[in-house]
Amino acid sequence: MVRAKETIYADFFCIEFIARSKNQSNLFNIWRSIYNDNLLNIWRFIYSGYSLNIWILFIMIIISFWVLKNKFALLKLKKLSQNREYLIF
């Protein structure tokens, strides 16, 4: 299963095609294959199961802070409205 995923990602980034192209210089091919391998590793990290859980946790933390901020803002607004000096429309 892991091997199949690697093949799909490799085909997606065309690493094999770039590494085997004969039209450019050898050094340029080495540089491009290293660059694309790094892209592939970043892609694998983002979409691996472990880091996906981290991304979901991070998004949930951000949403919870946003909800708490809005809740405290509403409480402050309610307190201000109880002073009868401010009107809420």
- Give the model confidence (pLDDT) of 2-53 as tens digits: 455 555 555 555 555 555 555 555 666 666 666 667 767 777 766 666 666 7
Claim to verify: residue 1 and residue 33 sit in the same structural domain: yes
Query: Which residue range is the domain that position 6 belongs to?
Result: 1-47
Claim to verify: residue 31 and residue 56 sit in the same structural domain: no
Q: Give dist(CA 4, CA 11) in Å, integer.
A: 11
Please say if the pLDDT value at position 64 is more than 70.
yes
Report the pLDDT value the prediction gives residue 30, as an integer from 0 to 100: 63
Q: Give dist(CA 18, CA 36) in Å, integer.
A: 9
What is the rounded radius of gyration, in angstroms, for the C-alpha atoms of the chain? 26
Claim to verify: residue 20 and residue 61 sit in the same structural domain: no
Residue 57: CA atoms inside 13 Å, Cβ hemisphere, count?
A: 6
Please say if the pLDDT value at position 1 is more than 50.
no
Claim to verify: residue 40 and residue 54 sit in the same structural domain: no
Report the pLDDT value the prediction gives residue 26, as an integer from 0 to 100: 62
Mean pLDDT, rounded, for 43-65: 78
Claim to verify: residue 2 and residue 42 sit in the same structural domain: yes
Claim to verify: residue 1 and residue 42 sit in the same structural domain: yes
* Structural domains counted in the chain: 2
Claim to verify: residue 43 and residue 68 sit in the same structural domain: no
Report the pLDDT value the prediction gives residue 2, as an integer from 0 to 100: 47
